[in-house]
Homo-oligomer: A and B are copies of this chain.
Amino acid sequence: MELKEVLLRRKSCRAYEERPVEKEKLNEVVTAGSLAPLGLPRDGKPHLTVVTDPAALKMLGGAFGPDNDIIYGAPALIVVSCPPSRPGIPEMNAACVVEMMALTATDLGLGNIYLYGVTAALAQNEEWKRRLGIPEGHTPLSALAVGYAAGEAEVCKEWKATLGENRV
């Protein structure tokens, strides 16, 4: 759909259907992530890890306890991990990748939400990082949960012009 409609439709989805996301759609989402601008790419590019295994998702979602699913039952989680660079650069790069993916997921009719709690938990667990195939030396920094939204999707925002007087 048109960019503007995508921007207005994107919202954080916190309830998902159980049905899995088609691999073709995950592919589109990941491809969009690869089109993000990157700062200092010579320090190494972000790595995307697509997690769809129910046991792995349960492990990640329950990182802060079994009664608090921090990935909201999403059937897919795309983890963005980055190598070290100058302060702030890995975080900004990860965010750019996640946003390209979030918009594309929205365009494909998929609910989605930008998460970092789950990556903060993952970053501190060497065993989980190894099992998920996070590259050596990379830090998981952000993730996008993706799936079919439980409940109706609706345009929930309005285009409100916000520019005041120029500051300078």
Contact = CB atoms under 8 A, between A and B. Distances in A.
Interface of A: 1-4, 6-8, 10, 12, 23, 26-28, 30-32, 34-37, 39, 49-53, 56, 88-89, 91-96, 98-100, 102-104, 107, 114, 116, 131-133, 141-142, 157, 159-163, 166-168
Given A34-B162, A37-B102, A92-B94, 10 more contacts: A2-B3, A4-B32, A7-B100, A8-B35, A10-B37, A27-B162, A50-B163, A88-B88, A95-B95, A96-B98
A162 B31 contact: yes
A88 B141 contact: yes
Contact of A96 (B31, B107, B114): B114
- Per assembly, the copies of the chain total 2
Nearest to A11: B37
A51 to B, nearest CB: 5
Nearest to A100: B7
Nearest to A52: B166
A61 to B, nearest CB: 13
B104 A95 contact: no
Contacts of A159: 31
A53 B168 contact: yes
A152 B131 CA distance: 47
Contacts of A93: 95
A30 B168 contact: no
Contact of A32 (B7, B116, B168): B7
Contacts of A10: 35, 37
